Structure 1
Amino acid sequence: MARAGVTYHDIAKAAEAVKTQGQEPTVDRVREHLGTGSKSTIAPLLKRWRSDNGEAAAVSGLPNDLVEVIKSLHERVQQMADHRIEQARREFEALNEELRNELTQANNAIAQLTARQQDLENQAERLSKEKSEQSQSLEDVRVSLANAESQRDEALTRANDLKESVSELKQENRDIRDHFEHYQQRTAEDRQQEREQFHLVSRGLKDQIQDLQLRLSQADSKASELVDANEWLQRHTHELEQANAIQKGTLDRQVADIQKLEHQLNDASAKSREQQHKSEQLVDNIAALTSQKADVDKQVAVLSQAFETTKADLIASQNRVEVLSDEYKLILQEKAVIQGQFKQLQESLSR
């Protein structure tokens, strides 16, 4: 529709001005002169102006009817050209809109992949923190094992001391028996003196027995502490195994997500190859996504290596716990032997 204000008077004035310039008043020239108005509005008004002005003058000696036919043909050709131009413009706008929609979809896909990559990076960072915490826990376990080994060494040293004390007591007991047999051959006075000496020695032996009992109770306490430490290590090892299983499950899920991202990336790459002649920018974005995928693959490789290292450390801790259990069993056996020897010594003294 024509802009409000374009009237027949405006069309007539514009046609006169075009004609004054030595040009044939056409729809395009009148519209260009006015600077406004649509062709569908200008064409009937211009035709009315021509009818009112009775344009019948000959052009280069041609009949008026031929001139009108030529003008009509010219206007028809002009209208067809305008129609084709408008149609080409609409097709161009439709194609441009389609390309914009495809570009928007590609940008959305890229944004989704970028967000997914950010999530993977956050998960990788969280796994790294968990690995650090587990490494610290393993270090605490190593320290606890070292303390347990130190306590075990102390218990072994004390057990050896107890063995030596028991051996000394046995030797003293044998010496006392030899002296006792020797003194039995003497007179009654010597026997009385020997009895007094024997009582003194017995009191000393009782003191030594009490000392041995105290040391034995201390060895029992240390053995109980070792049992508690062993139980704590077993519980901590179980917790580490559970944490390791959780970390493995998380890593498997991340690998599945990465494979899904690879499929999505392949689809996006195929679509990008189809639209390569439409947008060079999509090719650059896909190349950037490929580089980011390689970085994610590297991070996954690093996480896998860290998982294997954690698993090896866990196996080493389990081996240390088994060794500590074997050492604890040896201590219990040595304790039983000492108790048996102590019982024999008491029985020999009570005779």
Structure 2
Amino acid sequence: MARSGLTRMDVKRARDALLAQGQHTSIDAIRIALGNTGSKTTIHRYLKELEEEEGASLTRAGSLSDAIQDLVARLAARLHEEAQALVDEQATASAAQRQQAQAEMAKLAADRAALQAQFTAAGAALSSEQDAHADARLTLHRRDLDVERLTQQVRDQTARLAEQENFRQSLEEKLVHARDALEHFRTASREQREQEARRHEQQVQQLQAELRQANQSAIVRQNEITQLNKDNARLIAETGALARQLHEQQALGERLQTTLNQALADVARSDAGQEAMRTTLDTHVEELAHARETLASLTAERAHLAAQIDAQQLLLAEYRARPGIEGTPGPSRQISHQKDTAS
């Protein structure tokens, strides 16, 4: 856009500068020297006015003396020489600046090529790093799934362990009850055996007393039979009576023997009941041992799962330590909290 307020003096200074540099004073050159400002019409008008004034000045100069004209010619030549020297100096400086600018441009071009190569390499490295990051995220996701699966297994094993612990406690309570029952049965059996032994002893003593009484009666009867041998009729009658009494005594002895056998059978049955209780107790003891073995197996399996979780967490920490995936969210704190709860 044309600059407002362009004066004839500005145009004159631009023209004189071009003349001093030995360049043609065209309208475009003057406009470029003015910084691409001003309209061409205005510049042309001012140039025309300057030429008219200089023509009039030259006309007036014709009337001057030759000495003055010679002085003016010499001054003009001197000015032209000085202007030419200034122009040459500025041309040399401009050429040096142009060479320096070209060198800087070449350096900038080389730097640009190097930066372009670095950018290309950085782009390739970024693409490779993005691929590696994607693979690491996929691997991390798989590890998270493995950790979640192992954590669920630990929770299941913990639940099974709790069930086994409850079952073991139940067996121990049953064992305590069985021991109490066995002790009670032993006490009752001992008391019953003592009672049966006392009753048997009383029965034996009673049988012995009856046997002694029977023996005494037999001796008495035998004496009577001996004494009654003299009387055949009474002997026969008394012999028959004694035979019947002897038969009754034998029947009584058989009944007493049966009672004794029954008492012995009762004692044997008591021993058999105690043996059955012992068998039941042994069965409970075996069940308790089996439960303890199961508990030990579950404890070992839980330790194995804890070791697997530690290994997974270590692998997870190694993946997170790699560049590009340190900030990737993970369930480490949750895995750590769940692992402490399972332990």
TM-score w.r.t. the length of structure 1 is 0.49
Residue 305 of structure 1 pairs with residue 337 of structure 2: yes
**Match of 2:264?**
202
1:212 corresponds, among 270, 274, 293, to 274
Distance 1:176 1:207 in 2: 12
Distance 1:169 1:93 in 2: 109
Q: Deviations over 1:319-346 (max 9, x none)?
A: xxxxxxxxxxxxxxxxxxxxxxxxxxxx
Q: 3-state SS of the aligned residue for 1:187? A: helix
1:158–1:219 Cα contact (<8 Å) kept: yes
2:200–2:263 Cα contact (<8 Å) kept: no
**Rg larger for:** 2
2:179–2:281 Cα contact (<8 Å) kept: yes
**Match of 1:145?**
165
**Match of 1:179?**
199
Once the two structures are TM-superposed, the CA of residue 213 in structure 1 deviates from its matched residue by 1.8
Gaps of 5+ in 2: 1-90, 212-248
Code of the residue aligned with 1:187 in structure 2: it is E
Distance 1:253 1:218 in 2: 52
Distance 1:221 1:179, change over 3 A: closer
2:175–2:284 Cα contact (<8 Å) kept: yes
Once the two structures are TM-superposed, the CA of residue 171 in structure 1 deviates from its matched residue by 1.2
Once the two structures are TM-superposed, the CA of residue 132 in structure 1 deviates from its matched residue by 0.5
Once the two structures are TM-superposed, the CA of residue 166 in structure 1 deviates from its matched residue by 1.9
Distance 1:178 1:215 in 2: 24
Distance 1:155 1:178 in 2: 33
Distance 1:206 1:100 in 2: 103
Distance 1:181 1:98 in 2: 117
**Match of 1:234?**
296
**Match of 1:21?**
none
2:126 corresponds, among 106, 127, 130, to 106
Distance 1:163 1:91, change over 3 A: closer
Identity score, percent: 9
Code of the residue aligned with 1:176 in structure 2: it is E
Distance 1:303 1:101, change over 3 A: same
2:189–2:274 Cα contact (<8 Å) kept: no
Distance 1:191 1:167 in 2: 34
Residue 154 of structure 1 pairs with residue 174 of structure 2: yes
Distance 1:166 1:94 in 2: 102
1:66-85 matched pairs, under 5 angstroms? none
Once the two structures are TM-superposed, the CA of residue 108 in structure 1 deviates from its matched residue by 2.4
Once the two structures are TM-superposed, the CA of residue 91 in structure 1 deviates from its matched residue by 5.8
Distance 1:129 1:197 in 2: 74
Gaps of 5+ in 1: 1-72, 266-288, 312-351
**Match of 2:49?**
none
1:120–1:254 Cα contact (<8 Å) kept: yes
Once the two structures are TM-superposed, the CA of residue 140 in structure 1 deviates from its matched residue by 1.8
Residue 250 of structure 1 pairs with residue 312 of structure 2: yes
Number of matched pairs = 211
Code of the residue aligned with 1:107 in structure 2: it is S
TM-score w.r.t. the length of structure 2 is 0.50
Once the two structures are TM-superposed, the CA of residue 169 in structure 1 deviates from its matched residue by 1.7
2:153 corresponds, among 117, 130, 133, to 133
Distance 2:183 2:254 in 1: 33
Distance 1:104 1:113 in 2: 14
Code of the residue aligned with 2:210 in structure 1: it is T
Distance 2:176 2:197 in 1: 31
1:124–1:303 Cα contact (<8 Å) kept: no
2:193–2:267 Cα contact (<8 Å) kept: no
Distance 1:166 1:196 in 2: 27
2:151–2:335 Cα contact (<8 Å) kept: no
Distance 2:289 2:124 in 1: 67
Once the two structures are TM-superposed, the CA of residue 230 in structure 1 deviates from its matched residue by 1.6
Once the two structures are TM-superposed, the CA of residue 125 in structure 1 deviates from its matched residue by 1.6
Distance 1:180 1:212 in 2: 20
Code of the residue aligned with 2:279 in structure 1: it is S
Higher relative contact order (CA 8 A, sep 6+): 2
Code of the residue aligned with 1:221 in structure 2: it is T
Does 106-115 or 133-142 show the bigger shift? Answer: 106-115
